[in-house]
Amino acid sequence: MDHGGAFRDTNKQPIGKRALLLRLILSAQPITRSQIAERLGIDRSSVTDNANPLIREGILLEESALDENGRRQRYLSFATDRNIFLGVNLGVRHSQVGAIKLDGQILDEDEFVTPPDPKTALQTANQKLRELRRKYADLPLSGIGVGVPGMTDPLRQNLIYAPNLDWRSVAVADGLAIEPGVPVIVENDSTSAAMFEARAMMGRADSLMSDFIVVRSGTGIGVGMVIGNEVYRGTGIARGIAGEFGHMTIVAGGKPCVCGNRGCWEKYASASAAGSLYMGDRAPRPGQNVPRFLDIVTRARNGDNRAKSTLEKIGDYLGIGIANVIMGTGIARVIISGRLVYGWDFIVGPVNSAIERSIIGKVEGWSVEAGSPAGAAGKGALEVAVDRYLTTL
Ligand SMILES: [Zn+2]
């Protein structure tokens, strides 16, 4: 399949084997040159061509150590303490900020309640980023990654529309530019979760990511796609909007959604849909609170049948939507991210049966597994910053 110019970064550098190679080193370090060559299916000489200039610059280190068979090997890894990255995930209810080193060491993490208007939210995030920057002022800042719950412009600078926040056309990168010359990259939160999962997968010696979908279910639902080892955002003027499956209609004439339509997938299969499903769509009595997703999971663990059947219903709706996404994208490996992961043991069964039932032609070989809720939050945003940096080396 020819994806044309789809897999190009905002700076128009083609993302090729080099960025992939650097990502592999970062995910699986320390790693030998032969291991890299084998896992990427490339020649050792092309590993050398890419690695040697970076070793000379001090960005990569090569150190000798004994392998498990007692043989001396030379291992590549990224030098630490050269720079830091900052990230902020602007969530619908809560936002996270963090600082990370290139080797993945999290230096700091913090959370704040997202102010409802974009201007105050950006001011708050800006202030939090500045605080972190001051704390780690001794190291250069190489990038700021931002996760947003909506679609971004093709250059990954602005948020176009976030339905659950009712924000439109927000100049996010401008609002968070805390240091001259330091790039701010604004990414859809499901795409950043996909980037996080992609690298987590790369770190495992048995798998090299290639094609998969991340379904992020939290306050809403978003889908991130990785095709041919790269996140897919859409093409041309529609770049930045791919994966907006949360608002596909799953129940005709169903529950009203913030987007103006009815029966959207996220009204039935997001973590935040659990409360109203649990209440049987009845309004809470005075003094009664609609339980949150994590409360429902706790109740289910304590044997509450209504809580269990709520999670099973979510699993059923989730599976119906996933079958649609698999059929629509032709990608059969699915990873679940976001708050929903906390209740996965109750949800996985119904998800699998719903997919089995709904998939056309009884396609075989699909898989759905739980990823990490962290990728859907601050760590995904940090991944965006690190990933951008790797494409510049
Ligand atoms: Zn909707």
Taking all residues of the chain, what is their mean pLDDT, rounded to a whole number?
89
Output the pLDDT for position 12.
Answer: 36
Q: How far is the CA of 338 from the centre of ligand 1 (A)?
A: 18
Residue 126 has pLDDT above 60, yes or no: yes
pLDDT at residue 141 is higher than 80 = yes
Structure tokens, 321 = 């939507």
Continuous segment of H or E residues that includes residue 47:
helix 44-56
- Which pLDDT score is estimated for 41? 85
Rounded CA separation 269/319 (Å): 9
Query: pLDDT tens digit string along 188-229?
Result: 999 999 999 888 888 776 666 578 999 999 999 999 998 887
Assigned token pair, 329: 């994208």
- Does the structure show a pLDDT above 60 at 7? no
Tens of pLDDT, residue by residue over 74-93, are 999 999 889 999 999 999 99
pLDDT band at residue 51 under the 50/70/90 scheme = very high
Ligand 1 center–CA 256 separation, angstroms: 8
Cβ atoms 156, 185 nearer than 8 A? yes
Neighbours of ion ligand 1 (CB under 5 A): 247, 257, 259, 261, 264
What is the distance in A from the centroid of ligand 1 to the CA of 253?
A: 12
CA of 264 to the centre of ligand 1 (A): 5
Rounded to the nearest angstrom, the distance between the alpha carbon of 40 and the centre of ligand 1 is 40
- What distance in Å separates the CA atoms of residue 75 and residue 236, rounded to the nearest whole number? 41
- Residue 158 and residue 196 in contact, taking contact as beta carbons nearer than 8 Å: no
Higher pLDDT, 185 or 105: 185
Ligand 1 centroid, distance to 39 Cα (angstroms):
41
Ligand 1 centroid, distance to 278 Cα (angstroms): 20
pLDDT digits (tens, 9 = 90+) for 24-44: 999 889 999 999 998 888 889
- Cα separation of 149 and 380, whole Å? 12
pLDDT at 3: 37
Nearest alpha carbon to residue 337 among 306, 383, 295? 383
Distance 28 CA to ligand 1 centre (A): 39
* Strand stretches in 241-393, DSSP E: 333-337, 367-370
> 262 CA to middle of ligand 1, Å?
7
- The better pLDDT of the pair 143, 288 is held by 143
Q: Note whether 152 and 193 are within 8 A (CB).
A: no
pTM equals 0.87
The three-class DSSP label of residue 187 is strand
Q: Which two tokens stand for residue 68?
A: 């498990």
304 CA → ligand 1 middle, Å: 30
Write down the pLDDT at residue 365: 86
Specify the range with the lowest mean pLDDT, choosing from 107-116, 229-238, 295-304: 229-238
Sign of CA dihedral 49, 54, 55, 57: positive
